[in-house]
Structure 1
Amino acid sequence: MTWRNWGRSQRAEPSEVHAPVTATDVQHVVESVRARGGTLRPVGAGHSFSAAARPDDAHVTLDGLAGLVRVDAATREATLLAGTRIAEVPALLRPSGLAMEVVGDIDQQAIAGAVSTGTHGTGLAFGSISSTVTAATLVDGEGRLVRVSATERPDLLPAVRVGLGALGVLVDVTIRCVPAFALDAAEAVVDLDPVLDDWRGIVERTDHFELYWFPRTRVAVTKSNRRTQGPLRPRSRVGRLLDERVLTDVGHRALLALGALAPATRPGVNALSAQLMPRGRFVEPSHEVFSAPRSVRFREMEYGIPLDAVPSAMREIDRALRRADLAVTFPVEVRASAADDAHLSTAHGRESGYVAVHRWWREDPRPLFDVVEPILLAHEGRPHWGKLHSLDAPRLAERFPGFGAFLAARDELDPHRTFASAWTRRVLGA
């Protein structure tokens, strides 16, 4: 069996594929792999661009561990099985009147994968999905069922919140929720420079702000979302189809093909893409605004940098791409988030801005990434664990203040390195 991730940046031929449906099943899988001296990597939806889920030996898929376990109405906490897709969560929470606090711009990940890699959305008052985790159950490298919460091994919670699949196989996660809400969304084409000039002010005034800049132009698209209880003013069904399928899917594919055939057209393609991207003004349930379909495959690199470094980094990226005469047909995406305390969080101890660059999966991403990555590193960048980057364990240890504490938790939970792989050895060391 050949496994490939969504972005087609990783593939593997696992020696075994296990599909547990209970926590006891997971324990048996871990025990059997460890007994033969093998290694095991958990996989959710395969939406990481990095090799985080790629096994050297056995795979354990979490697809059979999906659904809502319980909702605590008093604390507004929901416990979800690890393989539950984020796209499924709104329907699961609807009867309780709750919603996830924040969601990324893709909702196809399994909740365990999103938590394990530090997946985030945008909003300076809000952290990553991992920051909302209040408890979790995992099977560690000894096959033990370990419960981590504010009252049970709370010392492990900062490690488990972004665990990289290196501490154990998550069985369930408990997340802090909020009363269901809508977003008043405003999307517009703007000039880049005024946005960068007022970057901090904008993200402080806006509940959820997102910037898409089209390289080799001065054009950007802004998405400004304000939390509200309504009333709803949704797009029509035809309007949604036009926005999310025709323009962003079929149209983007056509423009990518044109840019590949005629590179000289790419600046014009970017300017046209910017005009096609905004969806105007509407009010819809939060999950319908936060995320949108992504059927055009790409590969991505993203770094978290100090919030106030975003304008400088963006202007330097602009100059570097122009000097390199490198045409890019995906916009550079810029977001913001609150600080948190997870050991391996890109936002550990600091408000963060996120700068992400993308390359169509049929194109080599290295020329773009090789230009942008040094700039983000020079701005104290920390790479997103689910995305592509060039760093190894010694360099990562310099950038993540909680790196040593995470390794200590790993030594306790997986002393025999049952969950190791070539990727974990690169990013975590032995």
Structure 2
Amino acid sequence: MGSPLGEPAAWRNWAGNETARAVRLARPRTAEEASAVVTAAVRDGRRVRATGTGHAMNAIGRPDDGGVQIALDRCADLVALDGGSGLVTVRGGMTLRRLNRLLAEAGLALTNQGHGEQATIAGAIATGTHGTGARYGGLSTQVRALEVVLADGKVVTCSRGERPELFAAARLGLGAVGVVTSVTLQAVPLFALHVRESRLPLAEVLDSYGALVEQADHVRFAWFPHTSTALVRWDDRRPVDDELAPPPRRHDRLTGGPVSGGVFEALMVAARRLPAADRPAAQLAARVGALPAGGRPSLDLSYRVFASGHPAIVGHPAIRYKEIEYAVPRAELAAAMGELAAAVTRSGVRTAFPVEVRCAAADEIPLSPAFGRDTAYIAVRTDRRGPHENYFGRAEQIMLAAGGRPHWGTLHTLAAAQLRERYPRFDDFLAVRDAVDPAGLFANAHLDRVLGPPPVPAVS
């Protein structure tokens, strides 16, 4: 019988900008097996990181050299589903793609989600994955209970009524309080989304942003640097008994299918290889990549729409990029985006990747970027192979001045002292972390920076 700590392995994230080599890979099937891994790691003096599919752009998921990576891809089953209440419990390694289809078969859906379906449910809630919608929160707001393996090997459950402090921390916990081996979510009856897209002047979108986000249930827009154009998408919720009308093949090719994705990818690659091509590439992408005002709408099941659409607005799976995303108070969005556009022009930054803007309702989760305030998320991207420091540094300073809080799964430069000033319940989270993992078993070098070191010497 092999060691609970698994076999020697290497790790890298999706973007390829973070890697680790001398790690041990454990793939437990159950919470009990995950507990055995944790116990063995403590005995051997190794740190542990539970990893999903590696879609975070920073080093949050990186196991320390010599540490243990817990991959939950084998701990990914459906545990329970109640069609009447809408409560569904799944193992932490289940991907959003599989979860969405299981829910749809039962006539249910997630009320909101981001555009990536590759992530695991545990990984998605750990980093604060979100979609868009002025009245809707991120994925963690849909969590109702968790099963967590703690640093002492105990397997515990938590909810609002059971270990509420642990629950508040663990449903957006950065993987710092334990290994989340199952998640209970509140689903809603299956619904469709009616999609409209349009090309509008950026200035018009910013001037009317407060009203714009109330025009549909889920609103997002993308702005291409070096242009004055915003590509806007409105998604309205509809009953599934409405006649579904997914985009016809030609429309799909123009706005979200393989042809459009291929064209978009080619433009971004050209901008990387030929720096002088960044401006014309961005301008061409903005022109050919949007429907004219009043473009043809479509209607499809919610999870298909959330995970699809125009590649300029929601990304394209063939294109890997680096990203910095900040959550700013919604009232500060127009000023921050105006400054960003002006800074790109002044600095001569070389980039063709669009800036994506989404919104979210205020919530009460301690480490949520939307804690206590209605929020706009600004995502700034660049090619994963190119330099990003100058562009991201300028963008970060603008968003910090606007009161921004970084997305936990993207690049940023803040450390614990700066983050404490931006999160009113930062120390409440640390109190839970320090109580359940005082030696920093579940930490890594990145978490030591953003949360501060554990109260007692960490395992080496």
Q: TM-score, normalised by structure 1?
A: 0.97
Matching residue of 2:136: 126
2:43 partner amino acid: A
1:189 partner amino acid: R
Matching residue of 2:329: 306
Task: Summarize the alignment of residues 88-127 of structure 1 with structure 2, pairs less than 5 Å apart.
Answer: 88-127=98-137
Give, in whole Å, the separation in 2 of the partners of 1:72 and 1:415.
37
| Preserved contact between residue 419 and residue 450 of structure 2 (Cα < 8 Å) | yes
Give, in angstroms, the shift of residue 237 of structure 1. Answer: 4.5
Match of 1:74 among 78, 81, 84: 84
Give the match's secondary structure for 2:185: strand
Matching residue of 1:179: 189
Matching residue of 1:286: 302
Are positions 1:268 and 2:297 aligned together? no
Q: TM-score, normalised by structure 2?
A: 0.91
Matching residue of 2:60: 52
Q: Identity of counterpart residues, as a percentage?
A: 38
Deviates more, 1:110-119 or 1:247-256: 247-256
Match of 1:345 among 368, 373, 378: 368
Deviates more, 1:274-283 or 1:111-120: 274-283
Are positions 1:27 and 2:19 aligned together? no
Matching residue of 1:257: 269
Matching residue of 1:13: 21
| Preserved contact between residue 254 and residue 289 of structure 2 (Cα < 8 Å) | no
Give the match's secondary structure for 2:323: strand
Deviates more, 1:153-162 or 1:380-389: 153-162
Task: Summarize the alignment of residues 17-416 of structure 1 with structure 2, pairs less than 5 Å apart.
Answer: 17-56=25-64, 57-229=67-239, 230-237=242-249, 239-240=251-252, 243-278=255-290, 280-292=296-308, 293-416=316-439
Q: For each residue in 1:296-334, what CA deviation from the matched residue of structure 2 results, as whole angstroms up to 9, or x when unmatched?
A: 000110000101100000000011111101132111100
Q: For each residue in 1:103-133, what CA deviation from the matched residue of structure 2 results, as whole angstroms up to 9, or x when unmatched?
A: 1021211110110000000001100001111
Give the match's secondary structure for 2:187: strand
Give the match's secondary structure for 2:145: strand
Give, in whole Å, the separation in 2 of the partners of 1:238 and 1:94.
27
Give, in whole Å, the separation in 1 of the partners of 2:251 and 2:202.
27
Give, in whole Å, the separation in 2 of the partners of 1:240 and 1:85.
25
- Structure 1 residue ranges (4+ consecutive) displaced by more than 4 angstroms after TM superposition: none
Give, in angstroms, the shift of residue 241 of structure 1. Answer: 5.2
Deviates more, 1:240-249 or 1:381-390: 240-249
- Number of residue-to-residue matches in the alignment: 430
| Preserved contact between residue 215 and residue 327 of structure 1 (Cα < 8 Å) | no
Give, in whole Å, the separation in 1 of the partners of 2:257 and 2:350.
25
Give, in whole Å, the separation in 2 of the partners of 1:242 and 1:81.
38
Give, in angstroms, the shift of residue 266 of structure 1. Answer: 2.0
